[in-house]
A and B are shown apart, each in its own frame.
Chain A
Amino acid sequence: METKEIIYCLKKIVKPYVQNDLAFQDFGKDTDFIKDLEINSANLVDIVLDVEDEFNIAIDNDSMDKMLTVKDAVEIIKTKQQEQ
């Protein structure tokens, strides 16, 4: 899957959990889920569960801890998809 396509899917998944709509307008590689979008840690778990379903991958605890920005998420999704 292309990076652009992954980011497009991520944006859709993240939308219902966003607190900072202004930051969401600039959604891109460098967007930080917690710092920029002000998503809380409980909703970050929901996002990761949605990511698992959407991309048909399993996210482990280590990957979860590393998933701070959109860029991190894209890399993890790509790596997990390649492993399969």
Chain B
Amino acid sequence: MSEHQKIIDLLPYSHPFLFVDELEKVTENGILGTHTFPMDAYFYKGHFKDNPVTPGVILTECMAQIGVVCLGIFLLKDEELQSFGVALSNASIDYYLPVLPGEKVKVVSEKLYFRFGKLKCKVRMFNAEEKLVCRGEISGMIKAE
């Protein structure tokens, strides 16, 4: 199994709240991953009425799962990771373009620091046309247990 798949398998999320499909690049300093929002995702039924658009909170969640949690798992790798605790501590995001059902997005995250269990990252999301969808800073606490 590839190292990237191992990271995804360690994620504490599952359908319908897993927003990571593939990791393309993971290093000590950052990560790049993708996700395609399924046409039939449950939130499109209500967001918005008769006008499905991916909610900003879901975009943020996707950025956090790829940009902070997947990167965090990679950074904890030395500790023979079996289980770990994770919690979002801060997110400050600006949104630029809507993401429609079925769209594939790419998340690029750069580590600002990882100290005392807190991982803070600068995260950007792009659509299939490489246009910026949203960007900001997200931090979370992540610790091996």
Interface residues of A (CB under 8 A from B): 40-46, 48-49, 61, 64
Q: Judge whether B141 and A42 touch: CB under 8 Å.
A: yes
Interface residues of B (CB under 8 A from A): 89-90, 113, 115-118, 139-141
Task: State in angstroms the CA–CA spacing of A43 and B35 once bound together.
Answer: 30
Task: State in angstroms the CA–CA spacing of A48 and B113 once bound together.
Answer: 13
The chain A residue sitting closest to B118, CB to CB, is A45
Number of A-B contacts (CB under 8 A): 24
Q: Judge whether A42 and B115 touch: CB under 8 Å.
A: no
Task: State in angstroms the CA–CA spacing of A44 and B116 once bound together.
Answer: 9
Q: Judge whether B113 and A42 touch: CB under 8 Å.
A: no
The chain A residue sitting closest to B114, CB to CB, is A45
Task: State in angstroms the CA–CA spacing of A61 and B115 once bound together.
Answer: 9
Q: Judge whether A64 and B89 touch: CB under 8 Å.
A: no
Task: State in angstroms the CA–CA spacing of A44 and B115 once bound together.
Answer: 11
Q: Judge whether B115 and A45 touch: CB under 8 Å.
A: yes
**Beyond known contacts A42-B141, A45-B117: 18 more, CB 8 A cutoff:** A40-B89, A41-B89, A41-B117, A41-B141, A42-B90, A42-B118, A42-B139, A42-B140, A43-B89, A44-B116, A45-B115, A45-B118, A46-B118, A48-B115, A48-B116, A49-B113, A49-B115, A61-B116
Query: Chain B nearest CB: distance from A53 CB in Å?
Result: 12
Q: Which of B115, B116, B118, B141 has the most A CB atoms < 10 Å from its CB?
A: B116
Query: Chain A nearest CB: distance from B4 CB in Å?
Result: 27
Contacts of A49 in B (CB 8 A): 113, 115
A to B CB contacts below 8 Å, 24 in the list? A40-B89, A41-B89, A41-B117, A41-B118, A41-B141, A42-B89, A42-B90, A42-B118, A42-B139, A42-B140, A42-B141, A43-B89, A44-B116, A45-B115, A45-B116, A45-B117, A45-B118, A46-B118, A48-B115, A48-B116, A49-B113, A49-B115, A61-B116, A64-B116
Contacts of A40 in B (CB 8 A): 89
